[in-house]
Chains A and B, each alone.
Chain A
Amino acid sequence: MKNKRIQAKWNEKLIMDKGAPGRRAHIPMQLDIPSVEVPDKYKRISPAKLPEVSELELVRHVVRLSQMNHGVDVGEYPLGSCTMKYNPKVNERIARFEQFTELHPDTPDQFMQGSIQVIYELQEAIKKITGFTGVTVQPVAGAQGEYVGMLIAQAYHNERKDNKRTTVLVPDSAHGTNPASAAMAGYKVIELPSTSEGFVDLEVLEAALDDTVAAFMITNPNTLGLFEPNILKISELVHKAGALMYLDGANFNGIIGMVTATSMGFDIMHLNLHKTFSSPHGGGGPGSGPVGVVDKLVKYLPSPMAVYDKEKDHYSFDFDLPHSIGRLHGYYGNFAVNLRSLAYIYRNGGEGLKKVCEAAVLNANYLMEKVREIKGFTVPKSEKVPRKHEFIASPYRMMQETGISANDIAKAMLDYGVHSPTIYFPLIVHEAMMFEPTEGETRTNLDHMVLALKEISDLAYEDPDAVHRMPLLTGSSRLDEFSLAKNPVLSKKSKK
């Protein structure tokens, strides 16, 4: 018990089930001006049944709920491929500057020089970090960045009248968004099996490449945390076939500052600012998914682009982009997210970003060596090769010997105040558990995770039923997800 941690359990009712008629929290200001009556034909028939709570009631409700929520600020969060790194507090302070928060995006250029400068400087910083000559920071999530990348691929091949290119290749270890984004952009997706060591199979790739392939989308380091050793050869083959190289930058924390995307031969990439560049994940979003491209693709980037006239010292938006794929967002993307990431980049500098990478990779490899020693676990594929920012452990043996699965271990870890790793992904490893500790964790925290896994392993071999019952110290125990999927209750209305 001494290594476990207890989360609050408040049995907090739904806010709609709290309060009483007439209680008030925020009361809007009323002006001394004439009241207007809504004409009958437009009048709402019955008022919305919203809560009626006092301000203190609301505060306690949200504070209690927050205490039933795990975040990076609460405990270890080794969720693979999600890069749950520390969200620096100075970024939050900067993001609250009211000249940024209170600015309407249609404000004339001369009054939003600061906001446009942030967008412009982030474009420039990402160019340097990735090596690309054009960068947009408009896409608001990694998946939207991927979609932008695929629209650019379409625009490029179409303009060249190279209309036969209807397929996109992805490795079988790809993130789910890759095939989904390619399909949304009208491509047929072909999955390529990886080698037994988890790398791109050059023979398979070569056989799949022909004049119908528009792009090859890969993640490097891949979802096993392995750097693709043949990356230069892969780029050469793909380019020879006339296709484009797309880099999914979800795992960029494993190579940032060590190598650029263009030096590996990539033509297009997206980054996830909420991963590598420290903006908070916010319980699922908002994120930001900037896209970088090589010279020949710059003209297709989304509209508008932030530009700077050095002579006049003036920032503005360029809408005059006749080849652009258009816009994907109502305004200029998730500005406040981009702002935080620019602050992060400047706080670290080039030197710091490299150190971030080294420390993240060291933490992952240190943790991997310790987990490998725990009974029931293996680290499959390319066993002797160092990982980058993340690694896959497999409790397949434990599963066979005790019946305890990756999911059971993930749930048991919660009782130690540690969020579970990503499980059952990538699909090419049995019982995959993908750990990404990030550079933010101390050695003490890494050792705590190891200790937790050891105790769970011991218990699995002694009393597997006890593991099945975990977690017991969390805001809720295991939930009935099956009945819910059968009969979905998605709002208070449908809750009988």
Chain B
Amino acid sequence: MSFYESYIGTSESERNEMLTAIGMSDILELFSEIPEGILLKKPIELPGPYSEAELTRIFAKIAKKNIDPSTIVSFLGGGVRQQYVPAVLEELMRRGELYTAYTPYQPEVSQGMLQLLFEYQSQVAELLGMDIVNASMYDWGSAMGETIKIMHRINKKNKIIVALPISPNRIEVTNAYIKYTDIKLEFIPSKNGNVDSEKLIEILEIEAAKDKKEREIAGIYFEYPNYYGTLIENTEKICELTHAFKGLVTVGVDPIAMAILKTPGEFGADFVVGEGQLLGNPVNSGGPLLGILASRFERKWIRQVPGRLIGATTELESSSAGYCITLQTREQHIRREKATSNICSNQALTAVVASIYLSALGKQGVIELAESIMNRAHYLANELNKIDGVTAPKSNGFFFSEFLAEFNGLTHDKLEKICIDKGFVPGKAIGEDGCTRLISVSEPQSKEDLDNFIACIKEVMQ
């Protein structure tokens, strides 16, 4: 059956009439310049066509091969985590006017999308203590890669100091972004499950003491909270020291944590990147995500920011407010090979989700959410730590929503198997020796979920 006709605007008889109207008798006349030898004679062999009901059934069956989310409690995090999506957000995101739109290149008929993106930029800037946020990058990793390139372009020096711990995937993405530049990443190993801030400070002091001409560091990058969930010490001093030799500071963040933690803006960072999935976007088997890219306001830097920027202005003929894409001369469709980045399609809709989510939480809600997540993590770590053979957190320093836990005498395989049988994913394996795992909590988890997991671990450790 020709079920695909649902998506074609014209009927078969209309198509024949239209063909006649343009002076043709066979549809293949429209493809006459395709060399005869390569024109496909038969339709490509693919499943389908299917009716809508069949299609729904097929995909429902595939979906059921994933674990039913109501039967498992997952402690996976490491950059993305399960979200509780408020009903109001879910309903609003069904507006076809928004999700079926293209990039708002005609602002007169795109004020809705433009204003929502401006509200995204404004609210995230406020949350991070920054001035400027672009209208989205693909994910945290691509935002990190692009920002390292920005620091390099501004300072024209090759070395970027990168303080571990950082997700290995994110480092891999960054490496792909800088592969054919002359940027060199110098990694500082983590110490006791946290950033080795003493080592970092030592490196910065040596650089600051160098003669201007001998300096090589364009900037530094660290995460806050980092991949092991802990917070770096001495952020103010690190920023000051870096600025002393005109270096730049980029910080990778969990945006929800910023509701209660001293923001990079407050401790003096220049750029902030992070994962905006945490702002109300379903975890969606890993994508779409939302790369946050923020900066302090420096006229010269704005020109180095990749991607789209939405600005506020007025109508030409009145004082009514209006919004449009601005500073497009940085972008690929105008500057071509000299553009700051090749990015064109971005993650606009996930940024709209983030914007509506932040508005829904509001000033008080975002603090309550951050606190409730932090409380869950600390409760869980405390209780796990009471169990013989478990060390939680296995790191130095204050943590937010994630922590390392060591399960003495177990292997990853064994722990995973037992926990999964009981309905838990016990976080993510870190390292291959022993059994250290990154445990992350999330908003949907109830006290019962946490207590059941604690009981499960007690059983496992006996």
Pick out which of these stretches binds chain A: B194-202, B215-223, B330-338, B388-396.
B330-338
Q: Residue B65 contacts which of A49, A114, A255 (CB distance < 8 angstroms)? A: A114
Q: Residue A490 contacts which of B29, B65, B121, B420 (CB distance < 8 angstroms)? A: B121
Does B293 reach chain A (CB closer than 8 Å)?
Answer: no
Does B78 reach chain A (CB closer than 8 Å)?
Answer: yes
Does B364 reach chain A (CB closer than 8 Å)?
Answer: yes
Let me know if B88 and A59 touch, CB within 8 A: yes
Let me know if A125 and B67 touch, CB within 8 A: no
The SS class assigned to the A binding surface is loop
Question: What is the CB-to-nearest-CB distance from B460 to chain A, in angstroms, rounded to a whole number?
Answer: 17
Q: A185: which B residues are within 8 A, CB to CB?
A: 179-180
Question: What is the CB-to-nearest-CB distance from A98 to chain B, in angstroms, rounded to a whole number?
Answer: 6
Let me know if B322 and A128 touch, CB within 8 A: no
The 7 closest A-B pairs by CB, nearest first: A186-B180, A331-B286, A352-B4, A349-B48, A105-B286, A282-B349, A73-B96
Let me know if B179 and A151 touch, CB within 8 A: yes
Q: Which residues in chain B, 379-412, are within 8 Å of chain A measured between CB atoms?
A: 379, 398
Q: Residue A45 contacts which of B131, B262, B308 (CB distance < 8 angstroms)? A: B262
Q: Which residues in chain A, 46-63, are within 8 Å of chain B measured between CB atoms?
A: 47-53, 55, 58-59, 61-63
Q: Residue A361 contacts which of B31, B92, B176 (CB distance < 8 angstroms)? A: B31
Does B374 reach chain A (CB closer than 8 Å)?
Answer: yes
Q: A113: which B residues are within 8 A, CB to CB?
A: 65-66
The interface bits of chain B over 4-41 (1 if a CB of A lies within 8 angstroms of the residue's CB, else 0) are 11111110001101110110000101111111001110
A367 to B331, CA, bound (A): 31
The interface bits of chain B over 414-455 (1 if a CB of A lies within 8 angstroms of the residue's CB, else 0) are 001000100001001000000000000001001100100000
The interface bits of chain B over 256-277 (1 if a CB of A lies within 8 angstroms of the residue's CB, else 0) are 0011111100100000000100
Question: What is the CB-to-nearest-CB distance from B234 to chain A, in angstroms, rounded to a whole number?
Answer: 9
Q: B136: which A residues are within 8 A, CB to CB?
A: 284-285
Does B248 reach chain A (CB closer than 8 Å)?
Answer: no
Question: What is the CB-to-nearest-CB distance from A403 to chain B, in angstroms, rounded to a whole number?
Answer: 18
A140 to B140, CA, bound (A): 13
A272 to B98, CA, bound (A): 20
Q: A68: which B residues are within 8 A, CB to CB?
A: 109-112, 115
Using CB atoms, name the residue of chain A closest to B425: A107
Let me know if B67 and A33 touch, CB within 8 A: no
Pick out which of these stretches binds chain A: B79-87, B152-160, B206-214.
B79-87
Does A103 reach chain B (CB closer than 8 Å)?
Answer: yes
Q: B284: which A residues are within 8 A, CB to CB?
A: 100-101, 103, 335-336
Q: Residue B428 contacts which of A106, A287, A343, A476 (CB distance < 8 angstroms)? A: A106
Let me know if A99 and B67 touch, CB within 8 A: yes
The interface bits of chain A over 340-353 (1 if a CB of B lies within 8 angstroms of the residue's CB, else 0) are 00010111111111
Let me know if A366 and B127 touch, CB within 8 A: no
Pick out which of these stretches binds chain B: A175-183, A201-209, A293-301, A459-467.
A175-183
Considering residues B72, B86, B336, which has the most beta carbons from chain A within 10 angstroms of its beta carbon?
A: B336
Does A74 reach chain B (CB closer than 8 Å)?
Answer: yes
Let me know if A343 and B59 touch, CB within 8 A: yes
A339 to B55, CA, bound (A): 12
Let me know if B342 and A362 touch, CB within 8 A: no
Let me know if B101 and A42 touch, CB within 8 A: no
User: Can you pick out 15 interface pairs between chain A and chain B where the beta carbons lie within 8 Å of each other?
Assistant: A50-B361, A100-B284, A100-B285, A104-B76, A106-B428, A112-B67, A115-B66, A186-B179, A282-B347, A283-B103, A283-B348, A334-B288, A348-B49, A484-B326, A490-B311
Question: What is the CB-to-nearest-CB distance from B77 to chain A, in angstroms, rounded to a whole number?
Answer: 8
The interface bits of chain A over 413-457 (1 if a CB of B lies within 8 angstroms of the residue's CB, else 0) are 010000110000100000000000001111101000000000000
Does B310 reach chain A (CB closer than 8 Å)?
Answer: yes
Q: Residue A180 contacts which of B140, B318, B336, B443 (CB distance < 8 angstroms)? A: B336
Let me know if A353 and B109 touch, CB within 8 A: no
Does B244 reach chain A (CB closer than 8 Å)?
Answer: no
Let me know if A63 and B56 touch, CB within 8 A: no
Let me know if B80 and A331 touch, CB within 8 A: yes
Question: What is the CB-to-nearest-CB distance from A205 to chain B, in angstroms, rounded to a whole number?
Answer: 18
Q: Residue B19 contacts which of A337, A362, A474 (CB distance < 8 angstroms)? A: A362
A150 to B31, CA, bound (A): 30
11 additional contacts (CB under 8 A) given A45-B266, A284-B345: A45-B262, A69-B109, A107-B66, A108-B425, A112-B285, A283-B98, A336-B282, A352-B49, A477-B316, A491-B121, A492-B118
A176 to B343, CA, bound (A): 10
Let me know if A184 and B336 touch, CB within 8 A: no
Question: What is the CB-to-nearest-CB distance from A337 to chain B, in angstroms, rounded to a whole number?
Answer: 6
Question: What is the CB-to-nearest-CB distance from B230 to chain A, in angstroms, rounded to a whole number?
Answer: 11
Let me know if B313 and A489 touch, CB within 8 A: yes
Let me know if B109 and A481 touch, CB within 8 A: no
Let me know if B32 and A386 touch, CB within 8 A: yes
Does B458 reach chain A (CB closer than 8 Å)?
Answer: no
Let me know if A43 and B48 touch, CB within 8 A: no
Does A404 reach chain B (CB closer than 8 Å)?
Answer: no
A380 to B40, CA, bound (A): 29
Let me know if B56 and A94 touch, CB within 8 A: yes
Let me know if B100 and A477 touch, CB within 8 A: no
A370 to B360, CA, bound (A): 49
Q: Residue A36 contacts which of B69, B266, B374 (CB distance < 8 angstroms)? A: B374
Let me know if B106 and A227 touch, CB within 8 A: no
Does A1 reach chain B (CB closer than 8 Å)?
Answer: no
